[in-house]
Amino acid sequence: MINILIFGPPGSGKGTQSVKLAEKFNLSHHSTGDMLRAEIAAGTELGKKMSSIMSKGELVPDEVVIEMIADKIDSTKGVAGFLFDGFPRTVVQTDELEKMLNARGMKIDSMLVLNVDHDELVKRLIVRAEQSGRPDDMDPAVIENRINVYKAKTEPIIEYCRKRGIYQSVNGMGTIEEIFERLSGMIKKILK
Ligand code: B4P
Protein backbone atom coordinates (compact mmCIF):
# COMPACT_ATOMS: atom_id res chain seq x y z
CA MET A 1 0.00 0.00 0.00
CA ILE A 2 1.32 3.45 -0.88
CA ASN A 3 0.24 6.60 0.91
CA ILE A 4 0.37 9.89 -0.95
CA LEU A 5 -0.51 13.39 0.25
CA ILE A 6 -1.81 15.79 -2.40
CA PHE A 7 -0.93 19.15 -1.02
CA GLY A 8 -1.32 22.81 -1.98
CA PRO A 9 -3.23 26.00 -1.21
CA PRO A 10 -7.00 26.36 -1.75
CA GLY A 11 -7.67 26.27 -5.49
CA SER A 12 -4.41 24.54 -6.34
CA GLY A 13 -6.28 21.59 -7.86
CA LYS A 14 -5.96 18.99 -5.07
CA GLY A 15 -9.55 17.76 -5.32
CA THR A 16 -9.67 18.02 -9.10
CA GLN A 17 -6.51 15.97 -9.60
CA SER A 18 -7.19 13.49 -6.77
CA VAL A 19 -10.39 12.22 -8.39
CA LYS A 20 -8.57 11.49 -11.66
CA LEU A 21 -5.47 10.00 -10.02
CA ALA A 22 -7.48 7.75 -7.70
CA GLU A 23 -9.28 6.28 -10.69
CA LYS A 24 -6.13 5.80 -12.76
CA PHE A 25 -4.02 4.17 -10.01
CA ASN A 26 -6.74 2.37 -7.94
CA LEU A 27 -6.12 4.60 -4.94
CA SER A 28 -8.64 5.31 -2.23
CA HIS A 29 -9.27 9.08 -2.28
CA HIS A 30 -10.00 10.77 1.05
CA SER A 31 -10.86 14.47 1.09
CA THR A 32 -11.58 15.86 4.55
CA GLY A 33 -13.23 18.88 2.87
CA ASP A 34 -15.70 16.56 1.06
CA MET A 35 -16.33 14.60 4.27
CA LEU A 36 -17.09 17.80 6.18
CA ARG A 37 -19.36 19.13 3.41
CA ALA A 38 -21.23 15.78 3.47
CA GLU A 39 -21.83 16.26 7.21
CA ILE A 40 -23.18 19.75 6.54
CA ALA A 41 -25.42 18.53 3.70
CA ALA A 42 -26.78 15.75 5.93
CA GLY A 43 -27.59 18.30 8.64
CA THR A 44 -25.72 16.37 11.37
CA GLU A 45 -24.79 18.00 14.69
CA LEU A 46 -21.12 17.87 13.64
CA GLY A 47 -21.96 19.48 10.29
CA LYS A 48 -23.85 22.31 12.01
CA LYS A 49 -20.87 23.02 14.28
CA MET A 50 -18.31 22.90 11.44
CA SER A 51 -20.33 24.96 8.95
CA SER A 52 -19.62 28.36 10.51
CA ILE A 53 -15.89 27.60 10.88
CA MET A 54 -15.60 26.57 7.23
CA SER A 55 -17.61 29.50 5.89
CA LYS A 56 -15.07 31.85 7.53
CA GLY A 57 -12.20 29.98 5.90
CA GLU A 58 -10.78 28.72 9.21
CA LEU A 59 -9.63 25.17 9.92
CA VAL A 60 -11.90 22.83 11.85
CA PRO A 61 -10.38 21.30 15.05
CA ASP A 62 -7.65 18.71 14.46
CA GLU A 63 -9.45 15.97 16.42
CA VAL A 64 -12.51 16.16 14.16
CA VAL A 65 -10.63 15.38 10.93
CA ILE A 66 -8.22 12.91 12.59
CA GLU A 67 -11.17 10.78 13.71
CA MET A 68 -12.74 10.92 10.24
CA ILE A 69 -9.53 9.75 8.59
CA ALA A 70 -8.88 6.97 11.14
CA ASP A 71 -12.32 5.53 10.36
CA LYS A 72 -11.60 5.57 6.62
CA ILE A 73 -8.18 3.91 6.93
CA ASP A 74 -9.67 1.03 8.85
CA SER A 75 -12.67 0.52 6.61
CA THR A 76 -10.94 0.70 3.18
CA LYS A 77 -9.81 -2.54 1.53
CA GLY A 78 -8.74 -3.76 -1.93
CA VAL A 79 -6.86 -0.68 -3.15
CA ALA A 80 -3.25 0.04 -4.13
CA GLY A 81 -3.02 2.78 -1.53
CA PHE A 82 -4.46 6.01 -0.13
CA LEU A 83 -4.55 9.48 -1.61
CA PHE A 84 -5.06 12.08 1.11
CA ASP A 85 -6.51 15.33 -0.26
CA GLY A 86 -6.63 18.39 2.01
CA PHE A 87 -5.43 16.28 4.95
CA PRO A 88 -3.20 16.80 6.89
CA ARG A 89 -3.52 20.57 7.21
CA THR A 90 -1.52 21.11 10.41
CA VAL A 91 1.67 19.62 11.84
CA VAL A 92 -0.43 17.97 14.58
CA GLN A 93 -2.56 16.24 11.91
CA THR A 94 0.62 15.11 10.13
CA ASP A 95 2.05 13.60 13.30
CA GLU A 96 -1.21 11.80 13.97
CA LEU A 97 -1.42 10.47 10.41
CA GLU A 98 2.13 9.18 10.60
CA LYS A 99 1.37 7.42 13.91
CA MET A 100 -1.85 5.90 12.50
CA LEU A 101 -0.02 4.57 9.45
CA ASN A 102 3.00 3.32 11.41
CA ALA A 103 0.70 1.43 13.77
CA ARG A 104 -0.68 -0.39 10.72
CA GLY A 105 2.74 -1.14 9.18
CA MET A 106 2.60 1.74 6.68
CA LYS A 107 4.13 5.20 6.25
CA ILE A 108 3.63 8.43 4.27
CA ASP A 109 5.41 7.62 0.99
CA SER A 110 5.20 10.96 -0.77
CA MET A 111 3.93 14.50 -0.45
CA LEU A 112 3.12 16.07 -3.84
CA VAL A 113 2.86 19.85 -3.50
CA LEU A 114 1.01 21.79 -6.22
CA ASN A 115 2.48 25.25 -6.73
CA VAL A 116 0.12 27.84 -8.22
CA ASP A 117 0.39 31.65 -8.43
CA HIS A 118 -1.75 33.62 -5.97
CA ASP A 119 -3.83 35.38 -8.66
CA GLU A 120 -4.59 32.08 -10.40
CA LEU A 121 -5.79 30.56 -7.09
CA VAL A 122 -8.21 33.42 -6.53
CA LYS A 123 -9.42 33.27 -10.14
CA ARG A 124 -10.15 29.51 -9.96
CA LEU A 125 -12.09 29.82 -6.70
CA ILE A 126 -14.19 32.72 -7.99
CA VAL A 127 -15.06 30.68 -11.09
CA ARG A 128 -15.99 27.69 -8.89
CA ALA A 129 -18.21 29.89 -6.68
CA GLU A 130 -20.38 30.64 -9.69
CA GLN A 131 -21.01 26.91 -10.30
CA SER A 132 -20.85 25.26 -6.87
CA GLY A 133 -22.25 27.92 -4.58
CA ARG A 134 -19.67 26.94 -1.95
CA PRO A 135 -19.94 29.66 0.73
CA ASP A 136 -16.16 29.66 1.29
CA ASP A 137 -15.62 30.50 -2.42
CA MET A 138 -18.20 33.34 -2.56
CA ASP A 139 -16.39 36.05 -0.63
CA PRO A 140 -12.96 37.30 -1.79
CA ALA A 141 -12.07 38.15 1.84
CA VAL A 142 -12.73 34.53 2.88
CA ILE A 143 -10.59 33.28 -0.04
CA GLU A 144 -7.72 35.51 1.15
CA ASN A 145 -8.19 34.23 4.71
CA ARG A 146 -8.01 30.60 3.48
CA ILE A 147 -4.76 31.36 1.65
CA ASN A 148 -3.34 33.06 4.75
CA VAL A 149 -4.42 30.16 6.98
CA TYR A 150 -2.68 27.81 4.55
CA LYS A 151 0.55 29.82 4.78
CA ALA A 152 0.47 30.05 8.58
CA LYS A 153 -0.80 26.60 9.61
CA THR A 154 -0.44 24.24 6.66
CA GLU A 155 2.79 25.22 4.88
CA PRO A 156 4.96 24.22 7.90
CA ILE A 157 4.12 20.60 6.98
CA ILE A 158 6.37 21.03 3.92
CA GLU A 159 9.43 21.31 6.18
CA TYR A 160 8.25 18.28 8.17
CA CYS A 161 8.05 16.20 4.98
CA ARG A 162 11.25 17.66 3.50
CA LYS A 163 13.15 16.36 6.55
CA ARG A 164 11.74 12.89 5.89
CA GLY A 165 12.79 13.05 2.21
CA ILE A 166 9.23 12.65 0.91
CA TYR A 167 8.54 16.21 -0.33
CA GLN A 168 8.09 16.66 -4.10
CA SER A 169 7.17 19.94 -5.74
CA VAL A 170 4.84 20.02 -8.78
CA ASN A 171 4.11 22.85 -11.20
CA GLY A 172 0.36 23.36 -10.66
CA MET A 173 -0.02 25.95 -13.45
CA GLY A 174 -1.48 24.91 -16.80
CA THR A 175 -4.47 22.89 -17.92
CA ILE A 176 -6.00 20.16 -15.76
CA GLU A 177 -4.72 17.55 -18.26
CA GLU A 178 -1.17 18.93 -18.27
CA ILE A 179 -1.00 18.83 -14.47
CA PHE A 180 -2.56 15.35 -14.43
CA GLU A 181 0.23 14.11 -16.74
CA ARG A 182 2.89 15.59 -14.44
CA LEU A 183 1.37 14.00 -11.33
CA SER A 184 0.78 10.67 -13.07
CA GLY A 185 4.46 10.51 -14.02
CA MET A 186 5.46 11.08 -10.40
CA ILE A 187 3.06 8.46 -9.04
CA LYS A 188 4.29 5.89 -11.58
CA LYS A 189 7.79 6.37 -10.17
CA ILE A 190 6.54 6.02 -6.57
CA LEU A 191 4.76 2.77 -7.48
CA LYS A 192 7.90 1.22 -9.08
P1 B4P B 1 -11.15 21.67 0.82
O2 B4P B 1 -12.36 20.93 0.46
O3 B4P B 1 -9.89 20.88 0.95
O4 B4P B 1 -11.06 22.89 -0.17
P5 B4P B 1 -9.91 23.60 -1.01
O6 B4P B 1 -8.67 23.81 -0.18
O7 B4P B 1 -10.55 24.78 -1.62
O8 B4P B 1 -9.48 22.62 -2.13
P9 B4P B 1 -10.30 21.88 -3.27
O10 B4P B 1 -9.68 20.55 -3.34
O11 B4P B 1 -11.78 21.95 -3.00
O12 B4P B 1 -10.11 22.72 -4.58
P13 B4P B 1 -9.21 22.44 -5.82
O14 B4P B 1 -7.89 22.94 -5.35
O15 B4P B 1 -9.28 21.07 -6.35
O16 B4P B 1 -11.36 22.39 2.26
C17 B4P B 1 -12.47 23.23 2.54
C18 B4P B 1 -12.49 23.66 4.00
O19 B4P B 1 -12.72 22.49 4.84
C20 B4P B 1 -11.21 24.26 4.58
O21 B4P B 1 -11.10 25.64 4.30
C22 B4P B 1 -11.38 23.96 6.09
O23 B4P B 1 -12.27 24.86 6.69
C24 B4P B 1 -12.02 22.58 6.08
N25 B4P B 1 -11.05 21.48 6.14
C26 B4P B 1 -10.84 20.54 5.17
N27 B4P B 1 -9.88 19.68 5.54
C28 B4P B 1 -9.44 20.09 6.77
C29 B4P B 1 -8.42 19.63 7.66
N30 B4P B 1 -7.66 18.56 7.35
N31 B4P B 1 -8.23 20.30 8.83
C32 B4P B 1 -9.00 21.34 9.17
N33 B4P B 1 -9.97 21.86 8.35
C34 B4P B 1 -10.20 21.24 7.16
O35 B4P B 1 -9.83 23.29 -7.04
C36 B4P B 1 -10.42 24.52 -6.97
C37 B4P B 1 -11.10 24.92 -8.29
O38 B4P B 1 -10.10 25.16 -9.28
C39 B4P B 1 -12.06 23.89 -8.90
O40 B4P B 1 -13.23 24.56 -9.31
C41 B4P B 1 -11.34 23.36 -10.13
O42 B4P B 1 -12.21 23.05 -11.20
C43 B4P B 1 -10.44 24.52 -10.52
N44 B4P B 1 -9.19 24.02 -11.12
C45 B4P B 1 -8.39 23.05 -10.64
N46 B4P B 1 -7.33 22.87 -11.44
C47 B4P B 1 -7.45 23.82 -12.45
C48 B4P B 1 -6.65 24.16 -13.57
N49 B4P B 1 -5.52 23.53 -13.84
N50 B4P B 1 -7.07 25.16 -14.36
C51 B4P B 1 -8.22 25.81 -14.11
N52 B4P B 1 -9.03 25.52 -13.06
C53 B4P B 1 -8.65 24.53 -12.24
CA of 34 from ligand 1 middle (Å) equals 9
Nearest residue (CA) to ligand 1, atom 8? 10
**pLDDT of the residue at 87:** 98
Per-domain residue ranges for the chain? Answer: 2-178
| Pure H helices in the chain | 14-25, 32-41, 45-55, 62-75, 91-103, 118-132, 135-138, 140-149, 156-163, 176-191
Nearest atom in ligand 1 to 32's CA: 27
Bridge partners for 171 per DSSP: 115
Q: Is 4 helix (H, G, I), strand (E, B) or coil?
A: strand
Nearest residue (CA) to ligand 1, atom 34? 59
Euclidean distance between CA atoms 128 and 120, whole angstroms: 12
Euclidean distance between CA atoms 167 and 157, whole angstroms: 10
Euclidean distance between CA atoms 59 and 148, whole angstroms: 11
**Claim: this prediction has a pTM higher than 0.85:** yes
**pLDDT of the residue at 23:** 98
Q: Does the structure show a pLDDT above 90 at 132?
A: no
CA of 117 from ligand 1 middle (Å) equals 15
Give 79-100 pLDDT, tens digit per residue. 999 999 999 999 999 999 999 9
Nearest residue (CA) to ligand 1, atom 5? 10
Asked if the 2-178 domain carries CATH number 3.40.50.300, the reply is: yes
Instruction: With beta carbons less than 8 A apart as the criterion, state whether 17 and 187 touch.
Output: no
**Mean pLDDT over residues 146-158, rounded?**
98
Angle between helices 32-41 and 45-55 (to 10 degrees): 120
**pLDDT of the residue at 142:** 96
**pLDDT of the residue at 77:** 87
**pLDDT of the residue at 168:** 97
